[in-house]
Amino acid sequence: MSEDSVISVQAVSKAYRIWDSPSSRLTAPSLATMGQLFPGESGARRWLEAKAQQSYRDFWALRDVSFEVRRGESVGIIGRNGSGKSTLLQIIAGTLQPTSGAVKVQGRVAALLELGSGFNQEFTGRENVYLNGAVLGLSRAEIDQRFDQIAAFADIGDFIDQPVKTYSSGMFVRLAFAVQTAVEPQVLIVDEALSVGDVFFQQRCYERMRQLTDTGVCVVLATHDMGSVQRFCQNTLVFRRGAVAFQGPSAQATKLYFQIEQQEKVASFAAKPAKPAAPSPLPATATTPIISWPAQETMLPLQDIPVIGNGWARCTAVAACNTAGEVTGHFAQGETLVVFYEFEILQDMEFCLGSITLRDKTTQAVHSKITLQDGIREPARVARGSRLRFRQDTVLNLACADYTLDVSLDMIAADLLDEPGISYEAFMAAQLRICELHAVTRVAVRIREETSPFQLLHFGVAGLPSRSMIEVIPPAI
């Protein structure tokens, strides 16, 4: 464990024993104990031990997990449900022992694990504050000094003196977070707890966690909110089936997480009965060649661009232009970015759609749109060897800053097109990310030269469609 490390996890594994029947919990240990009465190489001992082992199987929730967290570092833990995230956090918090390996933690640990854990349902909120503070090692005098701060942050009013069994889930997490962050921990562990709070409380929580990391507290956050991971966590671990699939910068971790998520969808789609792939007849507007397609020599170089894909298509061309067809990466606020891109189809596919994403300096997506959202619902199928060309025009009503451009090709089952509309849930369940290119170019948005009616079109990250009215009510005479 290095000097500046607060958490050290070394080769940690955790197995849960799954018994064939309730009675096996009694018979298997009895058989194993009886076997130990015989000599080591005797047939009776081997038979009894083998018989005992037939009564259970070990499920490995974690396998050989190792990492360290430094003082003042914020680390994300992401993965699908059942990948081992919560098990790891419980081991770090000390509420669960590993089957093998070692965990070392320096200093006081505050943990928000299961909702309501550590609270006595019959006690009031005030009484639970003192109970949790005592468990975390604070004296009554220390809790007295912090109580007003805790009550103000929780902001649950008179409910602080009501039994917590009357609390909503949001009130639970408000009080729990207020207590855990007021005890001056060296390690703060948060396991999905913030997902039940409202947006204002979540903002306050993240601001509080930033203040803690600035003072040297390390934060370990397990969540399914990829945006929060990218904004808050410096590094992230991606878990897959109990093992660490990736450890490194959060932007790369979230991309890998989405790639892993897509693999099961690919396998599911590949298992479906094959359908004849014939290019669908396209409406006239779609079959007309895309206007102002740039010359090949003006396309961006793609050989060094990071690509995530499943091998079903490859990107052959990308260009970023203005409305005059000129290749450029510089735009005044409110001007239109025109993105041209092309994919070569390497496998028969169903309904394909393109998308572009603009990301800010923190890799947060500030704009992302698929062609389906512009009403394009054809072609239903695309044959191998075809080329798909896309053009997407985007008005850059964004804050004046530098952004990066991603382009991607997705696919969904063609039978979804039979529906009059496609819900978000149905799309996310059916979506396959075929090929995605990250940061293909920079898009610089700058302040306009035009000053009428005002030089900036809007404040904030994005300019939403809006209308303003004003009325003067003259003073009464």
Which pTM does this prediction carry?
Answer: 0.68
User: How far are the Cα atoms of 50, 248, 366, 438 from residue 69, in angstroms, in the given order?
Assistant: 42, 12, 30, 28
pLDDT in tens, 456-471: 999 999 998 899 999 9
Q: How far is the C-alpha of 365 from the C-alpha of 435, rounded, in Å?
A: 18
| Beta bridge partner(s), residue 103 | 9
What's the pLDDT band for 265 if we cut at 50, 70, 90?
A: low
pLDDT beyond 70 at 155: yes
Residue 420 has what pLDDT?
81
pLDDT of residue 14: 94
pLDDT on residue 279: 44
Structure confidence at residue 56 as a pLDDT band (50, 70, 90): confident
Supply the pLDDT for residue 168: 87
Residue spans per domain, the chain? 68-254, 272-281+290-446
287 pLDDT band, cuts 50/70/90, is very low
On the question of pLDDT at 280 being above 60, the answer is: no
The per-residue pLDDT for 285 is: 34
Q: Comparing 435 with 430, which gets the higher pLDDT?
A: 435
Q: What pLDDT digit, counting tens, does each position of 100-152 carry?
A: 999 999 988 888 876 666 788 899 999 999 998 888 888 899 999 999 999 99
Residue 426 is given by DSSP the state: H
d(CA 238, CA 63) in angstroms, rounded, equals 13
Task: Kindly report the average pLDDT of the chain as a whole number.
Answer: 86
pLDDT at 452 over 90: no
Instruction: Answer whether 68-254 and 272-281+290-446 agree in fold.
Output: no
DSSP 195: G
What pLDDT sits at residue 244?
92
Say how far apart CA 237 and CA 246 lie, in whole Å: 6
79-99 per-residue burial string, b: 16 or more CB within 10 A, e: under 16:
bbeebbbbbbbbbbbeeeebb
Q: Containing H/E element for 79?
A: strand 74-79
pLDDT in tens, 337-379: 999 999 999 999 889 999 999 998 877 889 999 999 998 888 8
Classified by CATH at the fold level, domain 68-254 comes out as Rossmann fold (3.40.50)
Among 45-59, 138-152, 187-201, 334-348, the minimum mean pLDDT is found in 187-201
With cut-offs at 50, 70 and 90, classify the pLDDT of residue 22: confident
* pLDDT at 439 exceeding the cut of 70: yes
For the chain, the distance separating the N- and C-terminal CA atoms, rounded to the nearest angstrom, is: 79
If one compares 188 and 196, the residue with the highest pLDDT of the two is 188
Percent of the chain with pLDDT over 70: 92
Output the pLDDT for position 116: 61
Residues 6+ apart with CB under 8 A from 143: 129, 130, 133, 134
pLDDT at 284: 34
Query: Rg for the chain (alpha carbons), in Å?
Result: 29
Mean pLDDT of 181-195: 83
Confidence of residue 433 (pLDDT cuts 50, 70, 90): confident
Residue 271 is predicted with a pLDDT of 60
Contact assessment for residue 143 and residue 129, using Cβ atoms and an 8 Å cutoff:
yes
Q: Which of 4-13, 24-33, 70-79, 388-397 has the lowest mean pLDDT?
A: 24-33
* Structure-model confidence comparison of residues 231 and 351, the more confident one: 351
SS3 347: coil
Lookup: tokens for 132: 């949790």
Neighbours of 21 (CB within 10 A): 10
Report d(CA 341, CA 82) in Å as an integer.
Answer: 38
Q: Which residue has the higher pLDDT, 268 or 424?
A: 424
What per-residue confidence (pLDDT) applies to 272? 61
Indicate the fold that domain 272-281+290-446 takes in CATH.
Answer: Coagulation Factor XIII; Chain A, domain 1 (2.70.50)
**Residue of 185 and 444 predicted with greater confidence:** 444
